[in-house]
Chain A
Amino acid sequence: MAEEQSKHLLEIKDVKKYFPVTRPGIMKKTIGYVHAVDGVNLYIDEGETLGIVGESGCGKTTLGKCVVHLYDPTEGEISFRDDGGSMKDLSKLGSRENMEMKRKIQMVFQDPYSAMNPMKYIWTAFDEALKIHGVKERKERYRIASEMMEAVNLRPDYLYRYPHEFSGGQLQRICIARCLALNPKLIVCDEPVSALDVSVQAQILNLMRRLQKEYSLTYIFIAHDISVVEYMSTRIAVMYLGKIVETATGENFSTKCMHPYAQALMSAIPIPVPDAKKDEVVLSGDVPSPIRPPKGCRFHPRCRYCTERCKTEEPELVPVDESGTHLVACHYVREMLQNRLQTAKKEDSNAGQQDETSAV
């Protein structure tokens, strides 16, 4: 068991992050909590890309920020494998180890313009980060920075320009270069392409895939566009109201997902293929407030298969295939699985009959 665990690069165990909601006034009495992330279990292997999808407010960004240690989780632990191969809990590190871990886990933000200081040269962003992480000589820092600029197809002399002189796509590439300068292991990409135009988006995605190979990076790719996530990821996790409802490998995720929410999400996302055959599942209503999440299964008020059991009992993530990578949190996953097998059988037999008739 212990050996198996050490394969993972990062482990997230029962992580919860609650934000207090205070009553306005001098006393600031806490009247409730936003359950942004509410008990998430995930692991990431080296070299893979884990995609996290979900609607806004489902906690995917908060989870990402917990991983890069911008937030301390309220409960649970996030452990990262260090060079020796042992897992270390990020919240229990000494200050030196903490710095080292922070270097290894970097983040790319959604809006590159607000990720850079508009008053300072691009170079400052590299300089500061490298200085903090112990590159003492200025010459060396400049060498690393210009090397990274070249790695993202930009000229090194662009280092002495201001953020407003770049287009969104260029600046996002600079943000990626700044992450790479610290030689990280894991990069958390929080909606890195959703602020960009489609032609630029393709450039960034291609670049990220190339860099992943060259620098053997591991990505956590957070986005709401399932087509992009499916293209980038080896494994996908779907989040709803602070919980993971389904994880599976990235291959054909949109057709094999089982959770009613995941299915609805897939069918809601417009696919750029005319007359694409899709199951029509339109969700009614809005996402409930994460301050008072629904009891039982969190998705039950919007679910079309909802029963009494769903309203009281919270479903666990259970594996649905032999390898145990496809996990679904729904009470009725076994019934769904059987239904799916039956329809597949029917289709097979239908296809077989057709073959026979055509042979005759």
Chain B
Amino acid sequence: MDTQNTILQIDHLKTRFKVGKKTVYAVNDVNLSVARGHVQGIVGESGCGKSVTMRTVLQLLSPNAYIAGGDILFAPEPGGDAIDLAKMDRYGEEMRAIRGQKIAMIFQNPMASLNPVYTIGSQIMENLLLHEKVDKEEAKKRIINLLAELGIPEPEQRYNEYPHQFSGGMKQRVMIAIAMICNPGLLIADEPTTALDVTIQAQILRLMLELREHHGTSVIIVTHNMGIIAEYCDDVAVMYMGRVVESGTVRQIFQNPQHPYTRALVRCVPVPGMPKTNDLETISGSTPDASIAFDHCEFEPRCKFATEACRKGFPQAVECEPGHMVSCFARGGQS
């Protein structure tokens, strides 16, 4: 792994859930690398395993989940050694030192992520005091500075207020403050704006780009909105049924999509100014049940271009242009 340019590399990751006697194959063989200082987008429909992949990175999984194989290599320092997060004990000291300090996460619903009975100041302070040896006076100063940087007006006063006194967008800013107070190298945002209005969404996403500029944080944005990917990300990975089917830069994916799923995904959203006479492109059928293990390409049942070869195994990723990986038999993939 090239730790100079890559901050996180996920190799052949598999995450499963035990539900009664069934096994849910949530993540099947995810390969992904996040470039240092870049904004990486992960896009896919609901149930494609994008959130579970990100939770596996931080080992924030429910007790019935387990990692069935693969590596999660994380390199906090450029040029330094990479550590394998997948091998760590979920409740261990090491993992806890990374979680919240080196890698931080923002969740979809800020209302559910903040504790209603503590002031927001004390909730941000908790994370800071846990990971760094600072006295409370200095901690408070740092928090107020950060709140001001995040665009919260009157931070000294807001510091002592409770979550219910904040609007949705402001709560999400507080969540970002909790995540950013230890200056993490990697910030994972799992659908950070799905619960917010579009004008607030634009504010929050712009803010995350600013943080990347000022702190050099690498950001992963998980979303189902192709618009957010096109506008705010540098690189994209498209996921389907627990697999990355295509990855590359935003331009490569939108202007030259190779995988049939990506093509359909790019074309099924209306774009302002498009002719109204055309029907939108659709993907027939719906996503299959994740509790049944596939023995061949998961997209084959819905794919217009499926052939006999597609039923015989999984296509390996091939590089169709520099940095643009695609997993499809029709694009030269081998099983």
Contacts and interface: CB of A to CB of B under 8 A. Distances in A.
Interface of A: 55-56, 167, 169, 197-203, 205-206, 209, 224, 226-228, 230-231, 250, 252-255, 264-276, 282-284, 286-287
Nearest to A53: B198
A226 B229 CA distance: 17
B167 interface: yes
A286 B45 contact: no
Contacts of B314: none
Interface string B224-249: 11111111100000000000000000
Nearest to B43: A198
Given A268-B199, A269-B227, A287-B197, A255 B273 contact: yes
A284 B151 CA distance: 10
B279 A274 contact: no
A272 B225 CA distance: 8
A100 to B, nearest CB: 33
A165 to B, nearest CB: 13
Given A199-B268, A286-B169, A206 B286 contact: no
B287 to A, nearest CB: 8
B117 interface: no
Given A197-B46, A227-B269, A273-B254, A202 B280 contact: yes
B149 to A, nearest CB: 15
A270 B272 CA distance: 11
Contact of A282 (B202, B231, B251, B274): B202
14 contacts: A55-B198, A197-B45, A198-B224, A199-B268, A199-B283, A228-B270, A250-B276, A254-B273, A266-B272, A270-B201, A270-B231, A273-B230, A274-B251, A287-B197
A250 B272 CA distance: 10
A319 B283 CA distance: 42
A272 B266 contact: yes
B128 interface: no
A284 B226 contact: no
Contact of A227 (B229, B254, B271): B271
A272 B45 contact: no
A56 B230 contact: no
Sorted nearest first, the 8 A-B pairs with minimum C-beta distance are: A270-B227, A231-B270, A202-B268, A268-B202, A272-B226, A202-B280, A199-B283, A55-B197
A252 B271 CA distance: 11
A272 B229 CA distance: 7
Nearest to A254: B272
Nearest to A167: B286
Contacts of B228: 270
B203 interface: yes
A142 to B, nearest CB: 27
Nearest to A197: B45
A6 to B, nearest CB: 28
Contact of B279 (A206, A282, A284, A286): A206
B37 to A, nearest CB: 19
Nearest to A267: B202
B281 interface: yes
Interface in B181-240: 197-203, 205-206, 224-232
A200 B254 contact: no
A167, A197, A255 interface centre (most CB from chain B within 10 Å): A197
B264 interface: yes
A274 B254 contact: yes
| Among B45, B273, B279: residue with most chain A CB under 10 A | B273
Given A202-B280, A203-B282, A273 B271 contact: yes
A270 B227 CA distance: 4
A231 B230 contact: no
Given A268-B201, A273-B271, A283-B199, A197 B224 contact: yes
B43 to A, nearest CB: 9
Contact of A276 (B197, B203, B230): B230
A275 B230 CA distance: 8
B85 interface: no
Contacts of B328: none
Given A198-B226, A272-B254, A273-B254, A286 B270 contact: no
A273 B197 CA distance: 20
